[in-house]
Amino acid sequence: MKWAIIILTLCCQSIQAQTNEYETVTITNWVKPGPYLRVVGGVTYNVAYSQKWKTFSKQEALMTPLPDMDDIIGGYPGTLYRAPEIKKTIGNARFFEIDCIRPVIDPPTGQVSEDKKFLKNVVILNFSEATGKSVNFYCMRTTNYVDSDGNSFICYDCGIQATNLVPDIKKVTVKKPN
């Protein structure tokens, strides 16, 4: 019994010595930002994780089919948006025109009397041809864009690529210096 206690004591001391020769340290590496880090108004966003960022087609409900007339609740029909067209460019602002079709319901009868067609204009800031080959480019809704004539437009921003280095923080276990 006496020998078992001595051996157990030596084992415990040996294990304790091994665990004390290592420590966990934090290492910070500064890396180039990836393509999903975009800057809008001086704030860096991760397009993949931010709730504010969606594809333009989701932001504007593009190509959303109209519901059946039986599905319309309270007499408010849906709207069908067609693909947008670029109409003009001023600086970093692109003006898009979207054709919209909204059925008009005759209140007394509940019947669709005609389709009301109208144009909706929106502005997209920092839009590039590389991201704009379809309506599935990412953007976020920002404050309205006011042109030189005082007209206000719904505005989205694609942001600019983040260029500042970002921290890549890792915890690693290293051997303590003697």
Contact (CB, 8 A) for 84 and 135: yes
Contact (CB, 8 A) for 82 and 97: no
Per residue in 115-133, pLDDT (tens digit) is 666 678 899 999 876 555 5
- Residue ranges of alpha helices (H) inside 28-127 are 56-59
For the entire predicted model, the pTM comes to 0.63
Nearest to 75 by CA among 100, 111, 101: 111
Per residue in 49-72, pLDDT (tens digit) is 999 999 888 887 776 655 554 444
Angstrom distance (rounded) from CA 158 to CA 174: 43
Per residue in 156-170, pLDDT (tens digit) is 999 999 888 888 889
pLDDT bucket at 11, cuts 50 / 70 / 90: very low
Angstrom distance (rounded) from CA 57 to CA 127: 14
| pLDDT surpassing 90 at residue 145 | yes
| pLDDT surpassing 50 at residue 8 | no
